[in-house]
Structure 1
Amino acid sequence: MSKIYPIGIQNFEKIRRDGYFYIDKTALVYQMVKSGSYFFLSRPRRFGKSLLVSTLEAYFEGKRELFEGLAIEKLEKDWTKHPILHIDLNTEKYESLESLENILNDTLYKWEKVYGTEPSETSLPLRFKGIIRRAYEQTGNRVAIFVDEYDKPMLQAIGNEELQKAFRNTLQAFYGAIKTMDGYIKFAFLTGVTKFGKISVFSALNNLIDLSMDERYAAICGMTEKEIHDNLEEDLLELAGKQKMSYEEVCRELKTCYDGYHFVENSVGIYNPFSVLNTFFKMKFGSYWFETGTPTYLVELLKAHHYDLHCMTHIETDADILNSVDSASTNPIPVIYQSGYLTIKNYDQEFATYQLGFPNREVEEGFMKFLLPFYANTDKVESPFQIQKFVREVRSGDYESFFHRLQSFFADTPYELIRDQELHYQNVLFIVFKLIGFYVKAEYHTSQGRIDLVLQTDAFIYIMEFKLEGSAEEALSQINEKNYAQPFAADPRKLFKIGINFSSLTRNIEKWIVEE
């Protein structure tokens, strides 16, 4: 293997000194540091935010030797060494206010060992301000401040309003120290997954330039198609050989699986860097980003808001909503978008609205697999096998087994989940058919109150009509009356018309009728 891939390595110095593969982002780094002092960037997890922070840190430490051969080497002339204050909120599990205070206290204590302390500095913000001032006075150079995963405590407290308020008040005052010490600060950079709204953590720090939806910085994290072809061409050829695919097929599969992130309208598509590097390291495709864990707060949000999962395939929203997660989290969409499970698909300039959708197959399939155990009667271990069985049954024409299995998905569903029964039943069907649709062709024709579905395999076509509190006979006659089978009249495959009724009394599929 010609390259050492930096999987899980977020330290720029380690990557450069130990000869790991690196895509040069330093021209953008230079552009940023020369254009302002206070910046914020939100990107999904495992997208290279920590590496970007580490790169900026090395630059402000004046470590010119690490940048040899990179774009910034020719651009920067000074290489001044600045004192660095780096806060990483990624390491703690935030279950109480003490956990946040402990990590801030520990960070301040380490800095105080270097820059000293004053007896009057009794609170966390006062200690932080004192450290900034002394770091400048003792070195003669202004300070560079980095906050990695600033929102971790807030995200872990989603759903617990009291704790979130406590975290917010503590962080607000703490970050507020940065603004009051402007004369001592050269540069400050904060990153996180989400951007909490104006009224929250940043209200005291309202001088931040937000790069999250700035087209110039769309590619500052992640990989573009051009970067992949410029840096990983040999690897693509090797992957094609290992997977017994043509070069074109491999490029297409890589794009389908991992491309498709758009952090701003009409911008270049971004590939998930973590998944791409893992694919080349293992020389096979996989759900790498998903395997590192999806936060359960996303599901809690969807369930708490009785969200119609169907809507996730065609959400329309505006920049204000996308850009801001309110601390009460009354809308699950901004959190899901900023966490990387949805991305910008289209932009309507006239109304300034964004259309959102899943970025790629890895995310869409992974998210549906992740949701299934939370909605249906199946556990995390079993659910992938259940989907395999569904697909086999559909491919072999065994609709009886298929519907019995579907019945088991609705059985024993916790009562609290089914406050809105119709929605729950639609959500389960949506997840199941979406997952089956990755392996057989599925088309949905939906209107209020029902899911109509066409499933197609090499040998069979299934046309299904679902009714809630109607009858299976009614559903079947609707298929015939509305000529749903008409488009397949000349098709040689065997066609099944299936009417299905769902009963609110049994909270399950009550009956299905099949006409061949």
Structure 2
Amino acid sequence: MSFSKITQVFHRTIFPIHFITPRVQRLRSPRSDLFQLSFSRTYYSPNPAYLELYEENERLKRERAEMLDGYNKFKALQKERQQPPWESSPKKQRITTQGTATLFAGKSIPIGKGHFDRIVNGGCTFIDKTSLIAEFIESNSDVSLVVRPRRFGKTTNLTMLKEFFSIPIYPDNENYRRELFRDTKITERSCLLDSHFCKYPVIFLSLKGFDHCDTWLEMRALLCAKLASLYKEHGYINDILDDCEKLRFSKIRSGDFESAVTIQSLEDLSQYLRTYHRRRCIVLVDEYDHPMEIAYRYQYYEEARGFFSSLFGALLKDNDKNLEKAFLVGVSRIAKSGYLSGLNNLNVFPMYVGKYATQFGFTEDEISILLQHCDKKERLNEVKEWYDGYRAGNGICLYNPWSINQFIDTNTLDAHWVDTGGTATIKKLLWYSTKDFKKKTLTLLKKGAIDVEILKDIDYNTLSPRASDVIWTILYYGGYLTMNEDKNLCIPNMEVFTEWKGWLNNRISSNPDTMLEMLLQCNLTKFEEELPTMLMESLSYLDTTDRDSESNYHFLMIGILSPVRYHNYELLSNREAGEGRFDVRIVPITENVVYPISIIMEFKVYKKNEKIIDNNEYGDEDEDKTERWLRKKSEGALAQIVEKKYRTGIKTTKLVECGIAFRGKRACVSSRVLRKEGDQWVEDS
């Protein structure tokens, strides 16, 4: 309503004083003296112009109240998230360099601290990985996906990117952020620092924590809670939204909203942030593949994939107006077949490519400088044996950061990484796989390498125990295998080998380590008793179409014996020696062994159509006949070791020989201990 119109109304109408707002009181008119009349002396006229003015006045009061409420909420959020003043303080770490590595040496190792700011502010020791920032900014990829094994520093790097790029809610926080990065490699790039430091709105979403969501409704509810938390983090943008947008914003922030709102929530947030900050967003997603793995495990994969495909498709595809760049990290490569299948602007960077090769995991230089700082440099060779072996692009060797930190903290060489979870899907598939898969597994357990194809993408719809290529791919991306210089796959180190052995041990009732020690200590009587018992309790998991297949028993025995390869013994199988091919032979590869002894084994397996009843040769009762057959075959296997001259090349002076016969879940062992006297082997009494 115009000023002249309001003046006309004042000339014609007498208003009660309790209707007058400060805005109206500031007006000057010939009848203004009437405004001071008491209510009893006023005259009310239902003039349409008066009603229009009254309604406008009420609307302005409501808007003012809403704006004040929004402002108060923003200030409360600001106070909760960032308590001023942000006083920058010098770093507590001391800088050390060696080769390409830069170490910020602090008072402790960051155990249980995955966020970059907590590590720096806590005075912890950390390796400078800030060159990742420049590599990400200068990348031509709009959407980058980095695939690395568990506990390889993905979360720490992602939170580092957030601290660097995100615009502070409280202005003085920029000085605090700058202190986080003081003296790091990225500060040497002054031009890049000026252009990108604290310059972008950032959407940071962690998709961890869905492990116990055994239904789609539970997963969706948890996702809604994560989105609500994300909206609360950016609650300051509420005052620039229109009424409809405020309603949607409020619904999402409450954590209770319908699917249609959820699917658009990330795209809408990117639009709101771009409007507020006048800059496009950077999107960071941690563990992008975790929900899909859980959905597959609990059999609601299709529902989850469809939903996440719509959610992230809206955010990352055809959203150039609001999206600057995106960086996603995870363990599995399910992008093209999973919920990112529609993204044409996505580039995937697994471990075997050069880009980002040194940004995740510790390099040789970084390990050397870290161990030196922690006074453990003399244990470098042991650390290499236990935790080295991952081969990245350009031939770079990497160590698992989690394992190294745990070793330094506990001063114990142990399988730290294998207890961190994430193997349920692998265990579900591994031991019900094909005969060819088990054959290749035997090669791995004997410290060999296998030639298999690593798929460029994993489709959970095709995942089954028969899909060996998919299982090998999952094992590679999960960190249970690595590529050697010939591009073949092998077990990277002692720590991971322990996990492989553990998978087998979980299916074996007796302790394989104890059974191996029985052989090395020449306690053959005990071994002959324990092996049949173990077979009876444990062999069912090896069943295949031909359950008595020799490869199954071979697989079992290699699993029991394989730990010797990490104790200076060589484990060989199906190799030529003398006049034939032995089944298993173990020999020391150095004089520095606890038990200077060799072991030769020969197996005999019941064939499906083989007759064991001829002229009552094996007795009258079926049970007795089977036992006699097993005993005769085991003795024959023991004799074959001598007949075929399998002892050829044995250099130790002590030797254990075992002939083992198998039928179904039953076994019989014939064994002996020999010592060398001159050129002759003599049975030890």
TM-score under structure 1 length normalisation: 0.87
| Matching residue of 2:148 | 43
In structure 2, how many angstroms separate the alpha carbons of the residues matched to 1:436 and 1:72? Answer: 46
Show CA shifts across 1:430-487 (max 9, x none): 211112443462422237x994233556343221111211722342343223321010
1:103 maps to 222
Q: Percent identity?
A: 25
Q: Check conservation: 2:337, 2:458, Cα contact below 8 A.
A: no
For residues 95-244 of structure 1, the aligned pairs below 5 Å read: 95-113=214-232, 114=235, 115-116=237-238, 117=245, 122-158=260-296, 162-177=299-314, 178-196=316-334, 198-212=336-350, 213-235=352-374, 238-239=375-376
Q: Give the aligned partner of residue 302 of structure 1.
A: 430
- Tell me which structure has the larger Cα radius of gyration: 2
2:204 aligns to what SS in structure 1? Answer: strand
Distance 1:363 1:172, change over 3 A: same
Match of 2:109 in 1: 5
Secondary structure at 1:124 match in 2 = helix
For residue 452 of structure 1, the aligned residue among 581, 584, 588 is 584
SS of the residue 1:217 aligns to: coil
1:54 CA displacement: 0.4
- Give the letter aligned to residue 54 of structure 1: T
Shift in alpha-carbon separation, 1:511–1:22, aligned structure 2, 3 A? closer
Work out the CA distance in 1 between the residues paired with 2:130 and 2:501: 37
Q: Distance in 2 between matches of 1:318 and 1:202?
A: 23
The whole-number CA distance in structure 2 between the counterparts of 1:219 and 1:401 is 50
Matching residue's letter, 1:82: Y
Q: Which has the higher contact order (CA 8 A, sep 6+)?
A: 1
Cα pair distance change 1:128/1:450, threshold 3 Å: farther
- Determine the C-alpha separation between the residues in 2 that align with 1:3 and 1:193: 31
Question: The residue matched to 2:325 in structure 1 has which SS?
Answer: strand
Which piece of structure 1 moves more, 7-16 or 98-107?
A: 98-107
Equivalences for 1:241-252 in 2 at 5 Å? 247=378, 250-252=379-381
- Do structure 1's residue 59 and structure 2's residue 164 form an aligned pair? yes
- Aligned Cα RMSD in Å? 2.6
In the alignment, the residues of structure 2 paired with residue 492 and residue 311 of structure 1 have an alpha-carbon distance, to the nearest angstrom, of 25
The alpha-carbon deviation at position 2 of structure 1 amounts to 6.0
| Contact persistence 1:474–1:499 (CA under 8 A) | yes
Does residue 572 of structure 2 align to residue 435 of structure 1?
no
Deviations 1:7-35 (A, max 9, x none): 22111111112211111111132122222
The secondary structure found in structure 2 opposite 1:182 is coil
Among 480, 494, 500, the alignment partner of 1:341 is: 480
Deviates most, 450-459 or 52-61: 450-459
Structure 1 pair 410–299 and aligned structure 2 pair: CA distance change class (3 A): same
1:311–1:73 Cα change, 3 Å = same
- Larger CA deviation: 297-306 vs 116-125: 116-125
Superposed displacement of residue 71, structure 1: 0.6
For the residue of structure 2 that corresponds to 1:318, the secondary structure is coil
1:509 corresponds to 2:641:
no
Are 2:606 and 1:469 aligned? yes
State the 4+ residue runs in structure 1 displaced beyond 6 angstroms. Answer: none
> What is the rounded CA distance, in whole Å, between the counterparts of 2:386 and 2:338 in structure 1?
36
Letter in 2 for 1:132: S
Of 150-159 and 133-142, more deviation after overlay is shown by 150-159
CA distance in 2 between partners of 1:156 and 1:311 (Å): 31
Classify 1:122/1:158 alpha carbon distance in 2 versus 1 (closer, same or farther; 3 Å): closer
Report the AA paired with residue 323 of structure 2.
I
| CA deviation map 1:363-406 (0-9, x unaligned) | 112321243113x224xxxx4xx51x224322321122123222
Matched residues in 2 for 1:412 and 1:393: separation?
19
Q: 1:80 to 1:396 in 2, by over 3 A?
A: closer
> 1-side partners of 2:423 and 2:582: how far apart?
30
Verify the 8 A CA contact 1:458 1:493 in the aligned structure 2.
Answer: no
Deviation string 1:180-206 (CA, Å, 9 cap, x unpaired) is 312211221111111115232221223
CA separation in 2, counterparts of 1:45 and 1:163? 24
Q: Is there any run of 5+ residues in structure 1 with no aligned partner, and where?
A: 241-246, 348-353
Equivalent residue for 1:482, pick from 644, 664, 679: 644
- Measured against aligned partners, the alpha-carbon deviations of 1:341-380 in whole angstroms (never above 9, x if no partner) come to 1001133xxxxxx300111111112321243113x224xx
What TM-score do the two structures reach when normalised by structure 2?
Answer: 0.66
**Separation of aligned partners in 2, 1:492 and 1:256:** 26
Paired positions, count:
484
Per-residue deviation at 1:417? 4.8
Residue 397 of structure 1 corresponds to: 522
